[in-house]
Amino acid sequence: MTPEEKLQSLGLSLPDVPTPVANYVPFRLVGDMIYLSGQGPRKPGGYHTGKVGRDVTIEEAYQHARITGLGLLAVAKKAAGDLSRVEVVKVFGMVNAVPEFADHPKVINGCSDLFVEVLGERGRHARSAIGMGSLPNNMTVEIEAIMRIVG
């Protein structure tokens, strides 16, 4: 099953790649490496927002990380032409959380789990999951990734 077929079987679809609102690009290709700019959990009209541990539950933030993962896959597909040519190398996940929150990995698992569900072993990656005092637009998570074009 191709990654696109796997997405369809999960009832998921890739969003449109957003146009940057500042002086950056959604990705940079360096040889066979794809460096993806950080993204947040988009929804119609903006982003999912709030502080995890106060306004947003771990379960909600997990879903927000999953939404963000779909956005990253959309950019990776644009960069590589086909998701079957993509391998995830590293994920850097940031969680907009209250100071006493300690379950950042549980939140970023939403993105990591999606990558493995869609890409199989090529979705397994090294990862960091950290807390932030704030994120742009007050979004709940921001995730960036490094991927590689294979085959």
Cα separations in angstroms, 33 against 28, 36, 148: 8, 10, 4
Split at pLDDT 50, 70, 90, the class of 148 is very high
Q: What is the DSSP letter of 110?
A: H
Strand intervals (E) in the chain = 27-30, 33-39, 42-43, 46-47, 86-96, 126-132, 141-149
Rounded CA separation 121/128 (Å): 19
Task: Please determine, for residue 151, whether its predicted confidence score (pLDDT) is greater than 90.
Answer: no
pLDDT recorded at residue 4: 94
Q: What is the pTM of this model?
A: 0.97
Contacts of 21 (CB under 8 A, 6+ apart): none
Does domain 3-149 match CATH 3.30.70.20?
Answer: no
For 96-126, the pLDDT digits (tens) are: 999 999 999 999 999 999 999 999 999 999 9
For 23-77, the pLDDT digits (tens) are: 999 999 999 999 999 999 999 999 999 999 999 999 999 999 999 999 999 999 9
pLDDT recorded at residue 133: 96
Out of 8-12, 18-22, 119-123, least confident range: 18-22
pLDDT recorded at residue 18: 85
